[in-house]
Structure 1
């Protein structure tokens, strides 16, 4: 029996070897990009260091406040799925582990996408080619450059959920949706659309209704009660400005004032631009499958009605979790378009032209957007280690693993410890005095606004806060506490 199973698995792998080859290539590219960026100090404490400290705490059975945030991260997002990943992180308690987890989540989500494409086109080569624009989608590149956020992990259960939905496999669909629910607090809204799809297209009214009702209850409980109680602050991701401070207010006011709703959704122009860039890489084919494309509405409404302007942009992780929706809609859209041609040869030509158009559109969009993240892999400068990077590597070696440390944005490498703090926020309060503070005027110096502010802060620590400088090289500094002065 075991031999038959192994033989079946190998045969399945070999039959789909083209897809797996593309998946392996992009896995390697993702990991190279992540690790080169990490070791060259291009990644920020927020959110890589923030999530790493969260994992480090949970792996040590510490579920208290995250010192980098001031409260437990489960009060920021309902990412219960991370609890499942703790055993993996416990083997390697470093930020690099999170980079691997995220890269694998994106890469492995490609296989169900391939299976969906194979279902509709019946051609393994054509189905495999869909993976290239999928992996090159700017949302993934921007997310990997951020470089870690739980919302990106949602693409794996979401992609499988679409596959099982289209294959009408109820049990694995429910398992995928359960994982999707546990990923982040906005995912129940996506799960609701899976329930609606079951009701309207498969006439599974009971199952669909149960999914819709339970997801809605879970969403309300998480956003209205759980997250605010965990963080002790207002759930600010629901702030829709003029439309209301909560989801319920936004819904009511959108119905009462539809013109205001559409104005806030599409303006300023950066919102509309981001929407266009979102659908352009798949040549607009996603619009030809509106019953799938509509799944994106909770993501876009939550993102573009929100008052946080950075969420409107194409940067960071905000465009990653929409990718499975867009490509599944594009696959079905192209399939429908090809059905307009009666001749098989004409169908094949139309499919090849469309896929070529996607390649061109994907490259175009990536070059139009800032960063051109994955394309940096083919730039020699991406691999050059600057003197300040060499100095930073030496500086962090001076910090003992059990020491408390204050860091600015450039040093997520130092977050695998009990006491790690953002500077200058916590130190300026006069309540926390870490043993070491690591600063830089040449690397990412957020939250400082300038190199001069960093220099001034360091001098203040030395003159007024009982610290002495123990490292100063190429704009990278380490100061060590000599004693704890009485707070003023």
Structure 2
């Protein structure tokens, strides 16, 4: 009796479940995503740095974050005088990841260090987005998606609005979702670990990622990531932040627990919220909805829309930055699931066209001219601020505060006067005398300065420096 023929080994399932329309072309051109990231890094840096140099940055929030990073660089607690005398920022938001900037700031103690680091972090996220898009489409279409991502309104507005800790979350989420799309579960889980150190709302996203991994069949790993997100979130919001907060609680919790009608109305109205959803999905021709990755945007959208703070509902500031990698990676993943190349091409064309049409209304448009125009107050402001000694205690208006936080102890005007803190110096802008525009809470208090014991020490173009009369 003849022995049975040896069975052939079964082919192993592909570790790459994402269709590669471009075959292995993307492997021959590994530099495309990195070159694109480098170009956006240059654009983001130019935008934010010129804005600061032209006195268009603010103490809230660039000055606040510089004070925190400066404190870390000096091995101190992240206290920000702009938030209040002795105010530990870990009692406001949980962002210990800022400490990673301390060595760089130690070498280059300037707010430009924070702005450049933010530009680098946001630009780095272009790499995984473009890489996955090339994998699921073609090198040319994938590069186009990377361009649409880099030009996306959420990233532009984040880069233009000073500095924020969420810049760290953008590349972390981008690399994590790329790994999820490729079913590299352990790698994706590893990318979630530092997310909870960025801001206290991100454990919600980590929890959702854990649930995603669990539903994808990796039950033990998914449960571990889910538990990590839930437990870290509860610990941060209920224990850590209250421990550092001067009032012993998390200040923003009331916006989530405050009653405001039925839940569906609260989540979807006013129409501004629906406008935000439209702005997120329309540039993907709504195809991002075909990918399960889009579900990971729900935690961020939920807490923002549930909040009673209108600032969270719209398109402004930095709040949508973390949504951009989720939406565009979901778009790239969805294109890989389509079996109609013509539709893929048209969808990418819609995405790029939408980004280009929106560009005249977004911050990067300033690089075409306005960003480089010298501020009429810059020279005068620098002359006045040069009279402030290093290490001085000074209360400054919001627009001038971040110009001094690298070398002085800066408080916010007029809050410093109300709190009883009486710094030796005051730096203010008086628009009535030709100074730069101020904020609504500043002008009404200018007339009180002489009666508070300060005398004018120097003035140029409406920018005034006062000093306590008994000094």
User: Which band: TM-score by shorter chain?
Assistant: 0.7 to 0.9
How many aligned positions are there?
A: 440
> Residue 437 of structure 1 contacts residue 480 of structure 1 at CA under 8 Å; is this kept in 2?
no
* Other-structure match for 1:382: 371
Aligned counterparts of 2:462 and 2:225: Cα–Cα separation in 1? 55
* Other-structure match for 2:280: 278
Deviations 1:320-359 (A, max 9, x none): 111111011111222223x1x3xxxxx1x33222111111
SS of match in other structure, 2:427: strand
* Other-structure match for 2:134: 118
The partner residue of 2:177 within 157, 162, 171 is 162
Q: How far apart are 1:120 and its partner, in Å?
A: 1.8
Deviations 1:84-136 (A, max 9, x none): 22112211111100001110001011111122113322x22222221111011
* Other-structure match for 1:88: 104
* Other-structure match for 2:307: 306
Q: How far apart are 1:447 and its partner, in Å?
A: 5.3
Aligned counterparts of 2:393 and 2:140: Cα–Cα separation in 1? 54
Q: How far apart are 1:449 and its partner, in Å?
A: 5.5
Matched, 1:427 2:417: yes
* Other-structure match for 2:405: 415
More deviation in 421-430 or 466-475? 466-475
More deviation in 355-364 or 103-112? 355-364
* Other-structure match for 2:18: none
Give the superposed CA RMSD.
2.3
More deviation in 389-398 or 156-165? 389-398
Aligned counterparts of 1:365 and 1:40: Cα–Cα separation in 2? 24
Deviations 1:223-246 (A, max 9, x none): 1121122113442433346xx34x
Aligned counterparts of 1:424 and 1:263: Cα–Cα separation in 2? 38
* Other-structure match for 1:148: 163
* Other-structure match for 2:356: 363
Aligned counterparts of 2:99 and 2:214: Cα–Cα separation in 1? 32
SS of match in other structure, 1:395: helix
Structure 1 residues without counterparts, runs of 5 or longer: 1-11, 254-258, 342-346
Deviations 1:340-385 (A, max 9, x none): x3xxxxx1x3322211111122234455x5xx2111111x333221
> Residue 280 of structure 1 contacts residue 362 of structure 1 at CA under 8 Å; is this kept in 2?
no
> Residue 170 of structure 2 contacts residue 325 of structure 2 at CA under 8 Å; is this kept in 1?
yes
* Other-structure match for 2:116: 100
Aligned counterparts of 1:94 and 1:285: Cα–Cα separation in 2? 43
* Other-structure match for 1:460: 448
For residues 84-483 of structure 1, what are the structure 2 equivalents within 5 Å? 84-121=100-137, 123-201=138-216, 203-233=217-247, 234-240=249-255, 244-245=257-258, 260-289=262-291, 291-337=292-338, 339=339, 341=340, 347=341, 349-367=342-360, 372-378=362-368, 380-411=369-400, 412-417=402-407, 419-441=409-431, 442-446=435-439, 448=441, 450=443, 453=444, 457=446, 459-461=447-449, 463-483=450-470
Deviations 1:128-148 (A, max 9, x none): 221111011111111111111
Aligned counterparts of 1:141 and 1:313: Cα–Cα separation in 2? 14
Aligned counterparts of 1:65 and 1:145: Cα–Cα separation in 2? 24
SS of match in other structure, 1:405: strand
Aligned counterparts of 1:444 and 1:90: Cα–Cα separation in 2? 33
Aligned counterparts of 2:430 and 2:119: Cα–Cα separation in 1? 28
Structure 2 residues without counterparts, runs of 5 or longer: 1-25
Aligned counterparts of 1:174 and 1:84: Cα–Cα separation in 2? 21
TM-score (norm 2): 0.88
Aligned counterparts of 1:40 and 1:64: Cα–Cα separation in 2? 27
The partner residue of 2:65 within 51, 75, 87 is 51
